[in-house]
């Protein structure tokens, strides 16, 4: 069974306030051959109304066994070691 484990404490997705989304890193998203990883804003907002940070999540997480190839590319490219696959 594939289990995607994301540690938000380790991963800091900075964002461009003008674009209101992360613009750097995202290496895990780019590395996924099945395009299963995405970023999403947390609910907490700053004074301008922009999310204070973003988190990585796996699309179809409940069906990871079916879609995730367990290639570990996302794990290998993460500079902060914020992702694990079990």
Query: What are the tens digits of pLDDT across the range 28-85?
Result: 999 999 999 999 888 888 888 888 888 999 998 888 889 999 999 999 999 999 999 9
Distance of CA 19 to the CA centre of its chain: 18
**All structural domains of the chain with their residue ranges:** 4-85
Determine contact, residues 43/55, Cβ cutoff 8 Å: no
Are 11 and 81 in contact by the 8 Å Cβ rule? The answer is no
Considering the segment(s) 4-85 as one domain, its CATH architecture is 2-Layer Sandwich (3.30)
Give the tokens for residue 34: 């099945």
- HEC string of 51-78 equals ECCEEEEECCHHHHHHHCCCCCHHHHHC
Which tens digits make up the pLDDT trace of 49-64? Answer: 888 888 999 998 888 8
């Amino acid at each position: 069974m594939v289990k995607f484990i994301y540690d938000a404490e380790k991963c800091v997705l900075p964002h461009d306030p003008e674009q209101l989304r992360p613009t750097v890193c995202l290496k895990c998203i780019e590395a996924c051959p099945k395009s299963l990883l995405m970023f999403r804003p947390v609910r907490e907002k700053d004074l301008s109304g922009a999310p204070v940070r973003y988190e990585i999540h796996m699309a179809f997480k409940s069906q990871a066994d079916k879609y995730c190839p367990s290639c570990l590319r996302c794990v290998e490219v993460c500079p902060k070691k914020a992702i694990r696959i079990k």
